[in-house]
Structure 1
Amino acid sequence: MSQKVTFQWSRLIRDLETGEADENAVKFYQDVIDECKKNDIILVLNLHHFDLPIELFQKYGGWEIYPKAIYDIAKNSYQ
Protein backbone atom coordinates (compact mmCIF):
# COMPACT_ATOMS: atom_id res chain seq x y z
CA MET A 1 0.00 0.00 0.00
CA SER A 2 1.20 3.53 -0.67
CA GLN A 3 0.27 6.84 0.93
CA LYS A 4 0.89 10.38 -0.26
CA VAL A 5 2.50 12.60 2.38
CA THR A 6 3.10 16.32 2.04
CA PHE A 7 5.98 17.98 3.85
CA GLN A 8 5.62 21.72 4.31
CA TRP A 9 9.03 23.40 4.10
CA SER A 10 7.89 26.32 6.24
CA ARG A 11 7.17 23.98 9.16
CA LEU A 12 10.65 22.45 8.96
CA ILE A 13 12.44 25.76 9.49
CA ARG A 14 12.67 27.43 12.90
CA ASP A 15 14.35 30.63 11.74
CA LEU A 16 13.19 31.74 8.31
CA GLU A 17 16.05 34.25 7.99
CA THR A 18 18.90 31.81 8.64
CA GLY A 19 17.22 28.61 7.48
CA GLU A 20 17.86 26.92 10.85
CA ALA A 21 15.94 23.66 11.01
CA ASP A 22 13.19 23.08 13.57
CA GLU A 23 14.37 19.87 15.22
CA ASN A 24 10.89 19.09 16.59
CA ALA A 25 9.36 19.32 13.12
CA VAL A 26 12.13 17.20 11.61
CA LYS A 27 11.57 14.59 14.34
CA PHE A 28 7.81 14.65 13.70
CA TYR A 29 8.27 13.89 10.00
CA GLN A 30 10.95 11.29 10.76
CA ASP A 31 8.55 9.56 13.17
CA VAL A 32 5.86 9.49 10.48
CA ILE A 33 8.30 7.92 8.01
CA ASP A 34 9.51 5.36 10.56
CA GLU A 35 5.96 4.34 11.51
CA CYS A 36 4.99 3.91 7.87
CA LYS A 37 8.09 1.79 7.21
CA LYS A 38 7.21 -0.44 10.19
CA ASN A 39 3.76 -1.00 8.68
CA ASP A 40 4.98 -1.61 5.11
CA ILE A 41 3.43 1.60 3.83
CA ILE A 42 5.28 3.10 0.88
CA LEU A 43 5.28 6.88 1.07
CA VAL A 44 4.94 9.11 -1.94
CA LEU A 45 6.51 12.33 -0.70
CA ASN A 46 5.53 15.76 -1.87
CA LEU A 47 7.31 18.91 -0.75
CA HIS A 48 4.66 21.62 -0.45
CA HIS A 49 6.60 24.74 -1.37
CA PHE A 50 3.87 27.30 -1.95
CA ASP A 51 3.48 28.27 1.69
CA LEU A 52 4.41 31.82 2.50
CA PRO A 53 4.76 32.20 6.26
CA ILE A 54 3.08 35.33 7.61
CA GLU A 55 6.31 36.73 9.04
CA LEU A 56 7.93 36.65 5.58
CA PHE A 57 4.83 38.17 4.01
CA GLN A 58 4.82 40.98 6.55
CA LYS A 59 8.53 41.66 6.12
CA TYR A 60 8.94 41.26 2.33
CA GLY A 61 5.46 41.42 0.84
CA GLY A 62 3.39 38.87 -1.03
CA TRP A 63 3.72 36.78 -4.11
CA GLU A 64 3.27 38.35 -7.51
CA ILE A 65 0.84 36.54 -9.77
CA TYR A 66 1.63 36.10 -13.44
CA PRO A 67 -1.54 35.06 -15.31
CA LYS A 68 0.39 33.67 -18.29
CA ALA A 69 2.44 31.44 -15.98
CA ILE A 70 -0.73 30.05 -14.41
CA TYR A 71 -2.17 29.42 -17.87
CA ASP A 72 1.04 27.69 -19.03
CA ILE A 73 1.15 25.46 -15.94
CA ALA A 74 -2.50 24.46 -16.38
CA LYS A 75 -2.01 23.79 -20.09
CA ASN A 76 1.11 21.68 -19.53
CA SER A 77 -0.52 19.76 -16.69
CA TYR A 78 -3.45 18.83 -18.90
CA GLN A 79 -1.29 17.33 -21.67
Structure 2
Amino acid sequence: MDAEAAKLIGAGIACIGMAGAGIGVGTIFGNYLTGALRNPSAAASQFTNALVGAALAEGLGIFSLVVAFLLMFVV
Protein backbone atom coordinates (compact mmCIF):
# COMPACT_ATOMS: atom_id res chain seq x y z
CA MET A 1 0.00 0.00 0.00
CA ASP A 2 1.21 3.47 -0.83
CA ALA A 3 2.00 5.93 1.97
CA GLU A 4 -0.45 8.47 0.50
CA ALA A 5 -3.27 5.92 0.61
CA ALA A 6 -2.44 5.09 4.24
CA LYS A 7 -2.60 8.79 5.16
CA LEU A 8 -6.02 9.16 3.56
CA ILE A 9 -7.34 6.01 5.23
CA GLY A 10 -6.09 7.27 8.61
CA ALA A 11 -7.74 10.65 8.01
CA GLY A 12 -11.02 8.93 7.16
CA ILE A 13 -10.86 6.86 10.34
CA ALA A 14 -10.11 10.01 12.35
CA CYS A 15 -13.31 11.58 11.01
CA ILE A 16 -15.42 8.94 12.77
CA GLY A 17 -15.20 11.22 15.82
CA MET A 18 -17.25 13.80 13.92
CA ALA A 19 -20.11 11.32 13.67
CA GLY A 20 -19.85 10.73 17.40
CA ALA A 21 -20.07 14.47 18.01
CA GLY A 22 -23.21 14.70 15.90
CA ILE A 23 -24.82 11.83 17.78
CA GLY A 24 -23.81 13.41 21.10
CA VAL A 25 -25.28 16.82 20.28
CA GLY A 26 -28.49 15.22 19.06
CA THR A 27 -28.79 13.20 22.25
CA ILE A 28 -28.12 16.24 24.44
CA PHE A 29 -30.75 18.44 22.83
CA GLY A 30 -33.23 15.59 22.45
CA ASN A 31 -33.06 14.89 26.16
CA TYR A 32 -33.22 18.60 26.93
CA LEU A 33 -36.38 18.93 24.86
CA THR A 34 -37.93 15.90 26.55
CA GLY A 35 -37.18 17.35 29.98
CA ALA A 36 -38.43 20.80 28.96
CA LEU A 37 -41.74 19.36 27.79
CA ARG A 38 -42.16 17.45 31.04
CA ASN A 39 -41.22 20.38 33.30
CA PRO A 40 -41.37 23.71 31.46
CA SER A 41 -40.56 25.76 34.56
CA ALA A 42 -37.11 24.16 34.84
CA ALA A 43 -36.28 24.47 31.13
CA ALA A 44 -34.72 27.93 31.36
CA SER A 45 -32.31 26.93 34.11
CA GLN A 46 -31.18 23.80 32.24
CA PHE A 47 -30.57 25.46 28.88
CA THR A 48 -27.09 26.65 29.81
CA ASN A 49 -26.18 23.11 30.88
CA ALA A 50 -27.35 21.84 27.50
CA LEU A 51 -25.22 24.44 25.70
CA VAL A 52 -22.13 23.54 27.72
CA GLY A 53 -22.65 19.86 26.98
CA ALA A 54 -23.12 20.58 23.29
CA ALA A 55 -19.96 22.68 23.22
CA LEU A 56 -17.96 19.87 24.80
CA ALA A 57 -19.37 17.34 22.34
CA GLU A 58 -18.58 19.63 19.40
CA GLY A 59 -15.05 20.00 20.75
CA LEU A 60 -14.56 16.29 20.11
CA GLY A 61 -15.72 16.71 16.52
CA ILE A 62 -13.44 19.67 15.91
CA PHE A 63 -10.50 17.82 17.47
CA SER A 64 -11.05 14.81 15.20
CA LEU A 65 -11.25 17.12 12.18
CA VAL A 66 -7.94 18.74 13.14
CA VAL A 67 -6.34 15.33 13.50
CA ALA A 68 -7.64 14.34 10.06
CA PHE A 69 -6.24 17.52 8.51
CA LEU A 70 -2.91 16.94 10.22
CA LEU A 71 -2.78 13.42 8.84
CA MET A 72 -3.63 14.56 5.33
CA PHE A 73 -1.44 17.62 4.98
CA VAL A 74 1.38 17.54 7.55
CA VAL A 75 2.49 13.93 7.96
Normalised TM-score (structure 1):
0.33
Greater strand content: 1
Of structures 1 and 2, the one with the larger relative CO (CA 8 A, separation 6+) is 2
Q: Which has the larger radius of gyration?
A: 2
Instruction: From the two aligned structures, give the one with the greater helix fraction.
Output: 2
| TM-score normalised per structure 2 | 0.34
